[in-house]
Amino acid sequence: MPESVLVVNAGSSSLKVKLLPQGSWMRVERVGGASTAVSDRGELTPGPLPDQSSAFAFALAELTQGSEAEPPTVVGHRVVHGGTLFTQPTLIDDEVERELQALSPLAPLHNPANLEALRAARQQLPNAVHVAVFDTAFHATMPPHAYLYGLPLAYAAERGLRRYGFHGTSHDYVTREAAAFLGRDRAELRIVSLHLGNGASAAAVDHGVSVDTSMGYTPLEGLLMGSRSGDIDPGLVLHLLRTGMTVEQVDHLLNRGSGLLGMSGVSNDMRDVRAAADEGEPGAVAALEVFTYRLKKTIGSYAAAMGGIDALVFTGGIGENDPRTRGAATHGLGFMGIELDQRANAAGHTLISKPGAPVSVLVVRTDEEVLIAEQAAAVAADLARRPAADTQASGRT
């Protein structure tokens, strides 16, 4: 790996940057408003940061303050949606920027912010190698029967209407780490990975490649989430539109007013919902039941799709920190060989399955930045080995 790789992860109103291998990091919140910042050195008061460019400039200055090292030579950018065009980490040039701009309608809540931060970084670190790493790329190996919707094929292909999947970098990282912990080659394992946070998704990783995942054309499909509905009947959307709701209102309902928040009426935070459920609040109880039922159903369906299961991995804020969710999601799955060691689960050990159980159940802390840095560094190393005339961006399909 180069002396330093800067990893950039921009949200609609936030920016997180991390310098590796040093480990220095900063997260800026409320970009465009009364901005706040926290770093590995503590809280900071940046003052107003009107856009991603100013937020990036502030974060870069703070991370490299007092450092005698040169500025980062490689920058890895998390980009949520790569469509069918980008299925590998990709060297960024002006043409790639234009192509990413064209993909923004596929992920309007994510890609525009990713692109704004990317442009700022390229302007402020013009001598660095900039690499895009896509959330969707890990799932590019899904077979057609997993990614196709039941739509006319030509119509869907022309418009890119298919399942893409997200959280790919996290699923890639934690399944790799789980296999390493078990002392096994990932290429010989059938793994179900559950990334459970405010956004939640599952992935079926069969002998090292993703063969199915719960999110689809957008991150709205699949599991119940913090404020997203997950799977619903498309006819329900038509009904809402026909009975007076606008497209924007339906969008807000499904993306920001549903899930744990909408069902419980309490919060999108699992800790708050669980506390309310413990007090007997019916909405919170129902939200937890739906959340864990969908997990259990997905574990079973992915095991069926792969012809069995060797390991089950929990990650994300909920997956890593909530033993009760892990217990509820696996309760009754002993017939599949999934049995938890209750003490290990409560203690948050890495391996939480019973000794000798056929299926290993693990808790793995995700670290997407590490994998983004590794993949960006690999692209930079490949670029350095090329003939000087051959600088065309790689990574497109």
Please report, for the chain, the start and end positions of each structural domain, with discontinuous segments joined by +: 5-134+369-385, 185-366
Mean pLDDT by groups of 10 residues along the chain of 397 residues: 86 89 89 88 86 92 73 94 94 95 84 93 96 97 99 96 97 98 98 97 99 96 97 98 98 96 97 98 98 98 98 98 98 98 97 98 97 96 76 58
Q: What's the CATH class of domain 5-134+369-385?
A: alpha beta
DSSP state at residue 13: S
Distance CA 342, CA 183 (A): 23
* CA distance linking residue 32 with residue 346, whole number of Å: 41
Q: Would you say 52 and 120 are in contact if contact means Cβ atoms under 8 Å apart?
A: yes
CATH class of 185-366: alpha beta
**pLDDT at residue 394, as a whole number:** 58
At 215, list the tokens. Answer: 């999110």
Contact call for residues 372 and 133 (beta carbons, < 8 A): yes
Give the separation between CA 273 and CA 279, rounded to whole angstroms.
10
Catalytic residues: 135
Instruction: Return d(Cα 220, Cα 81) in angstroms, integer.
Output: 13
> What confidence score (pLDDT) does residue 105 get?
83
d(CA 343, CA 323): 10
Vertex 296: Cα angle to 291 and 298 (nearest 5): 95
- The reported pLDDT for the residue numbered 272 is 97
Dihedral sign (CA 383, 387, 390, 391): positive
Q: How many CB atoms lie within 10 A of CB 324?
A: 16
Token readout for 193 is 């990975």
**Which strand (E) or helix (H) includes residue 24?**
strand 24-29
| Burial of 343 per CB tally in 10 Å (0-12, 13-18, 19+) | exposed
The CA distance from 317 to 350, in Å, is 15
Same CATH topology for 5-134+369-385 and 185-366: the answer is: yes
The span from the CA of 259 to the CA of 384, in Å, is: 47
- 204: Cβ–Cβ under 8 A, 6 or more apart, which residues? 190, 191, 192, 210, 211, 212, 213, 302, 305, 306
Residue bearing tokens 């290990």: 344
How many of the other CB atoms lie within 10 Å of CB of 144?
8
Question: What is the reported pTM?
Answer: 0.92
Can you state the angle between helices 234-242 and 247-256, rounded to 10 degrees?
140
pLDDT at residue number 385 = 87
Cα–Cα distance, 240 to 227 (Å, whole number): 18
Q: What are the backbone dihedrals phi and psi of residue 135, each rounded to the nearest 5 degrees, phi first?
A: -60, -30
Q: What does the block give as tokens for 208?
A: 């090292």
E strand segments, 107-208: 129-134, 190-196, 200-206
Q: Counting Cβ atoms within 10 Å, is residue 394 exposed (0-12), middle (13-18) or buried (19+)? A: middle
One-letter identity of residue 281: E
Contacts 24+ apart (CB under 8 A), 93-99: 93/391, 93/393, 95/393, 96/132, 96/393, 97/122
Report pLDDT for 388: 58
By the 8 A CB rule, do 302 and 192 touch?
Answer: yes
Angle between helices 282-306 and 323-330 (to 10 degrees): 60
Q: Are strands 90-91 and 36-39 parallel, antiparallel or unpaired?
A: unpaired
